[in-house]
A and B are shown apart, each in its own frame.
Chain A
Amino acid sequence: MNTTAYETVETDVLVLGAGGAGLRGAIAAAETGARVVIVCKSLLGKAHTVMAEGGVAAAMHNVAYQDTWEVHFADTIKGGKFINDWRMAELHAKESPERVLELERWGAVFDRTWQGRIHQRPFGAHTYPRLAHIGDRTGLELIRTLQDRAVHAHGVDVHMEVTVFKLLKSKAGRIAGALAYRRSDGALILYRCAAVLLATGGAGKMYRVTSNSWECTGDGTALAYDAGAQLRDMEMVQFHPTGMVWPSGVRGILVTEGVRGEGGVLRNSGGERFMERYDPDRMELSSRDVVARAINSEVLAGRGSPHGGAFLDITHRKPEFIKSKLPSMYEQFLKLAKVDITKQPMEVAPTIHYAMGGVRVEAETGATTVAGLYAAGEVASGLHGANRLGGNSLSDLLVFGKRAGDAAGLAAGADLKAAQSSIDPAEVDEAIAELMAPFGRPAGENPYQLQAEIQDVMSAHAPIVRDGPGLKAGLEKILDLAARSAICGTGGTTSRAFNPGWHTAYDLRSMLVNAEALLRSALERKESRGAHARSDYPDTDDQLTSINHVVERTANGMQVRAEHRPPMPEYLAEAVRHSYARYTPEEME
């Protein structure tokens, strides 16, 4: 087989990823009249969005009539410890109700209030009950609705089980295409397009204990970085407070925050409801960074559960209530852990869940710093700042998926001619040669082994509470692993047909870019804020509230620099001040 032969596909907008952001973006781009191709690493409908359980946050005031976009905005900013892109938080709070109602008009079926409106449940650090939901499988409903809308939309084509490994730019420096391989047969595809929308999700797979699937290797962040785009807030990675801990085979699998939203309480081995000591007002429904660190502290203090976690107990609720509101949690624990959550408490511990940081985007359009490249969803950064509130990711996907899709579609129409300019054949050949190289190294290291080592390094050196020496040592190990990964093999196999060893060899590159950016940014942020906690700088430094860390590729390798964010306009600052006075007095100190 000719290793460098490729087929060519032409389109206007190429969407990478078929989770919520990718599908919503594709629908929006198609509505502008653009031809759209969605490329996804798995089958359609399997993306990580299906794992979202709790709900989608939108100030629709169906349950609490006092809720407004201003309160949602203030909750998001306070949860993100004030380093959010405030314009994104504003757009998100204002537009998410409309995006939810739109889903309903496309056939999504939400749980109802007695008045027949969309029901909203309480969730951590949201002032009011705000999460529109469908039991505990909101993500599945969202993705299925968008999937059916997209495949029946005009001009959307889905290429399943295809992985993009290189973004291509024209001489003028704007996006002109992408190179990909098809998993099933290893065939190469050159996509020529006028705009690329990155919607590739997170990078949780660089950790060992994670709620993320194999796909979440941070491809989009790495592709964008490689193409010269800026990354932002890469030190901010969320530990979800409640992942399963036992049995060991299921460690890390998510236990929805909905359990606490529906009244679940956390206890330590002494039976104490320990959140009283960490956040007496909001208790279990404090923000995720606080709850995750609280569980971590209890375990370190020797008050953990038998397998190193905390007990999450919802047995005071009626069995029928639990089964109707949390059906998949009931099933998950019964099947995988032989625990009946209507009768016994669950054992839970923090698990890597979400990347707040990612590609730097413009709030209005999702445009990155590379012309023709857009990003939305978890791969983008800004909305969530230093900590994401539960429920804000699904609304993020909808609001910014649509905005980025609109912008990419319009840009593709306007710039098609410019974009059809040359793709450098030498660049294509070079990228293909690099992708194929592991086949030529029969004695090269096993990529699965390297992946496991990356996970060990990140788990040990960038844990829930970090420190300078640990981060520095971790960075050295990651750079060493990068050097080894650059010359790894496929595990000794030579077939291009559905060869996960070969696929993993490529995934390593993405994980390593994400890991390096995380460690370098975390070293720069000399304070504790949100998800970024440092034992050597345990306090929040007010001087750093206006700082975001931007990561960029330079001739000297990866560089991190601090950048000042402009202050928010008066009406937004007023919304935050107002919320202190009225809603969450405990945060006055």
Chain B
Amino acid sequence: MTDLDLKIWRGGPAGGELVAFRAPVLEGMVVLDAVLWVQANMAPDLAVRWNCKAAKCGSCSAEIEGFPRLMCKTPITEYGGQLTVRPMKAFPVIKDLVTDVSWNYEVNKQIPPFTPSEKDRSTSEPWRMQQKDVERVMEFRKCIECFLCQDVCHVLRNHDMGSAFYGPRFMVRIASLEMHPKDMLDRRPLLRGEAGVGYCNITKCCTEVCPEHIKITDNAIIPLKERMDDIYFDPVRSVINRLTGRGRRSKEG
């Protein structure tokens, strides 16, 4: 059996470096197995996040050979006998492969939660919804919050614009609420304002890295852009708004 040459980035907020390890290869091994082997046998304080090891929790995000992926879902055979693992670049490093993703949780708190109508809230009858009507939302609700889309998004990664743009994950979240058949809230002012949907210039990198294969750009972000455009940038509506004095609305955001 051949061994795997594994380089793992080790360090903290002040900096770090790639450290070389050699791990035995087992059939069907994924990158996370190799990293955990190194932890148990060579570097007991190697920091790495993981939970389910079955691509369902989205904890073990990292950059493998420079590409953002889940370590538990990446067979080492894809890389031959050597590979390099680094932490996600878009977030501050805590230690080794562990990054500080708390910003995402703060963003989520800013998004107004699911809000059904008064009538739906007060009825004691179970709701009726058709499968067709909920399927669209189900795609977005597959998100496991691995934050790989946030990591790869150049608005966040290269331009550090977290203060102006919520990032793809939260476009998906807003889409899941906006397109829920029972949700009554209008989050378009939020999209135009704080959430900054306009910053996305649809390069679709987020869609490419999504382990759940959510079509983030096509199915979430573009429809949200269109919804926002409808009220803020439709030229016909703009004229009507000006004539009827309803143009003030656009200041809400």
Q: Interface stretch among A64-72, A169-177, A332-340, A421-429? A: A332-340
Between A and B, 30 residue pairs with Cβ closer than 8 Å are A46-B52, A50-B51, A109-B141, A109-B180, A111-B134, A115-B128, A118-B126, A134-B138, A134-B141, A140-B142, A152-B109, A158-B105, A213-B50, A213-B53, A214-B51, A247-B26, A250-B53, A328-B55, A335-B75, A336-B73, A336-B75, A337-B28, A446-B44, A447-B44, A448-B44, A498-B94, A499-B47, A500-B44, A500-B45, A501-B45
B95 touches A (CB below 8 Å): yes
B145 at the interface (CB under 8 A from A): yes
Within 8 A of B (CB), among A81-118: 101, 104-107, 109-112, 114-118
For A241-273 the 0/1 string (1 means CB < 8 A from B) is 000001111100110000000000000000000
- From known contacts A50-B52, A117-B126, A249-B28, infer whether A149 and B113 are also in contact, taking CB-CB under 8 Å: yes
Of B26, B56, B113, B138, the contact of A328 (CB 8 Å cutoff): B56
**CB < 8 Å: which of B102, B109, B127, B137 contacts A104?**
B127
B136 to chain A, nearest CB (A): 10
In whole angstroms, what is the CA distance A149 to B114 when docked?
9
Cα distance, A498 to B39, chains bound together (Å): 13
Q: Please measure, in the bound complex, the distance between the C-alpha atom of A151 and the C-alpha atom of B106, giving whole angstroms.
A: 10
Q: How far is it, in angstroms, between the C-alpha of A336 and the C-alpha of B71 when the chains are bound?
A: 12
Closest 4 CB pairs of A and B: A247-B28, A491-B44, A107-B114, A501-B44
Number of A-B contacts (CB under 8 A): 173
A500 B47 Cβ-Cβ under 8 A: yes
Asked if A141 is an interface residue, CB under 8 A from chain B, the answer is: yes
Using CB atoms, name the residue of chain B closest to A106. Answer: B114
Residue-wise, chain A 310-341 has the 8 Å CB interface mask toward B (1 for contact) of: 00000000000000000010011001110000
- Judge if B118 is at the interface, Cβ distance under 8 Å: no
Q: Complex: how many Å from CA A490 to CA B40?
A: 11
Q: Considering only CB atoms, which chain A residue lies closest to B102 in the complex?
A: A160
Please state if B142 and A112 are interface contacts (CB–CB under 8 Å).
Answer: no
Interface centre among A42, A140, A253, by most chain B C-beta atoms within 10 angstroms, is A140
Partner of B57, one of A50, A148, A497: A50
A499 to B50, CA, bound (A): 14
Which of B30, B57, B131 meets A336, CB within 8 Å? B30
Is A135 in contact with B138, judged by CB distance below 8 angstroms? Answer: yes
In the complex, A297 has a CB within 8 A of chain B: no
B121 at the interface (CB under 8 A from A): yes
Contact partner of A116 among B47, B49, B129, B144, CB < 8 A?
Answer: B129
Residue in contact with B126 in the complex, picked from A101, A158, A452, CB distance below 8 Å? A101
**Is B130 in the interface zone, CB < 8 Å from A?**
yes
Query: Contact check: which of A106, A110, A497, A500 meets B39 at CB < 8 Å?
Result: A500
B140 closest partner in A (C-beta): A109
Distance from A26 Cβ to chain B, minimum over Cβ atoms (Å): 15
Pick the residue among A43, A111, A149, A254 that contacts B101 (CB under 8 A).
Answer: A43
A248 to B113, CA, bound (A): 42
Contact among B55, B57, B58 for A332, CB-based, below 8 A: B55
**B205: CB under 8 A from chain A?**
no
Of A46, A336, A491, A504, chain B has the most CB atoms within 10 Å of the CB of A46
Q: Which residues of A contact B109 (CB under 8 A)?
A: 151-152
Residue of A nearest to B57 (CB): A46
Q: Which of B41, B45, B183 has the most chain A CB within a 10 Å cutoff?
A: B45
Say yes or no: is A344 at the interface (Cβ < 8 Å to chain B).
no
For B53, the chain A residues whose CB sits under 8 A away are 213, 250, 253
Residues from 21 to 67 in A contacting B, C-beta threshold 8 Å: 42-48, 50-51, 60
Q: Is A495 an interface residue (CB 8 A)?
A: yes
- A493 located at the interface, meaning its Cβ lies under 8 Å from any Cβ of chain B in the complex: yes
Residues of B92-143 contacting chain A, CB below 8 A: 94-96, 98, 100-102, 105, 108-109, 113-114, 116, 120-121, 126-131, 134, 137-138, 141-142
* Bound-state Cα–Cα, A257 to B242, Å: 60
Complex Cα–Cα for A495 and B95 (A): 11
Interface status of B222 (Cβ within 8 A of chain A): no
Q: Return chain B residues, CB-CB under 8 Å to A248.
A: 26-28
Which B residues are CB-close (under 8 A) to A492?
Answer: 44
Add 5 more A-B contacts to A104-B126, A118-B126 (CB < 8 A): A42-B59, A48-B51, A135-B138, A184-B98, A493-B44
Q: Does A181 contact B (CB under 8 A)?
A: no
Known: A135-B138, A247-B28, A498-B96. A254 touches B51 (CB 8 A): no
Cα A247 to Cα B47 in complex, Å, equals 26
Most chain B CB neighbours (cut-off 10 Å) among A116, A137, A448: A116
- A502 on the interface (CB 8 Å rule)? yes
A215 interface residue, CB < 8 Å from B?
Answer: yes
Taking a contact as CB atoms closer than 8 A, the residue among B45, B96, B144, B177 that contacts A491 in the complex is B45
* A446 nearest in chain B by CB position: B44
Any chain B CB within 8 A of the CB of A144? yes
Question: Are A336 and B95 in contact, with the CB atoms below 8 A?
Answer: no
**A449-488, CB < 8 A from B:** 449, 452
User: B154 to chain A: closest CB distance in Å?
Assistant: 24
Q: Give chain A nearest CB distance to B76 CB in angstroms.
A: 9
Residues of the B chain whose Cβ atoms lie less than 8 Å from the Cβ of A254: 54
A249 and B26 within 8 A (CB): yes
Q: Quick one: given A116-B130, A149-B113, A249-B33, are A50 and B56 in contact (CB under 8 Å)?
A: yes
CB distance from B15 to the nearest CB of A (A): 14
Kindly list chain A residues whose C-beta atoms are within 8 Å of the C-beta of B41.
448
Q: Is B198 an interface residue (CB 8 A)?
A: no
| B134 & A50 in contact (Cβ 8 Å cutoff) | no
With the chains together, A579 CA to B108 CA distance in Å?
47
Partner of B45, one of A134, A137, A336, A490: A490
Is B46 touching A112 in the complex (CB atoms < 8 A)?
no
Cβ-defined contact, A48 with B55, below 8 A: no
Which residues of chain B are within 8 angstroms of A250 by Cβ–Cβ distance?
Answer: 28, 30, 53-54
Which of A106, A247, A449 has the largest number of chain B CB atoms within 10 A? Answer: A247
Tell yes or no: B48 within 8 A of A by CB.
Answer: yes
Q: Complex Cα distance A325/B128, Å?
A: 20
Q: Are B138 and A105 in contact (CB under 8 A)?
A: no
**B45 A331 Cβ-Cβ under 8 A:** no
| Residues of B contacting A116 in the complex (Cβ-Cβ under 8 angstroms) | 128-130
User: In angstroms, how far is the closest chain B Cβ from the Cβ of A200?
Assistant: 14
**CA–CA, A46 and B138, complex, Å:** 19
- A106–B137 Cα distance when bound, in Å, is 14
Give min CB distance, A68 to chain B, whole Å: 16
B12 within 8 A of A: yes
**Closest Cβ of chain A: how far from B135's Cβ, in Å?**
9
A335 contacts B113, C-beta separation under 8 Å: no
Residues of chain B with a CB closer than 8 A to A446's CB = 40, 44
Q: Do the beta carbons of B141 and A490 come within 8 Å of each other?
A: no
Contact A112 B131 (CB under 8 A): yes
Q: How far is the CB of A458 from the nearest CB of chain B, in Å?
A: 18
Which parts of B1-58 form the interface with A (CB within 8 Å)? Answer: 12, 26-30, 33, 39-41, 44-58
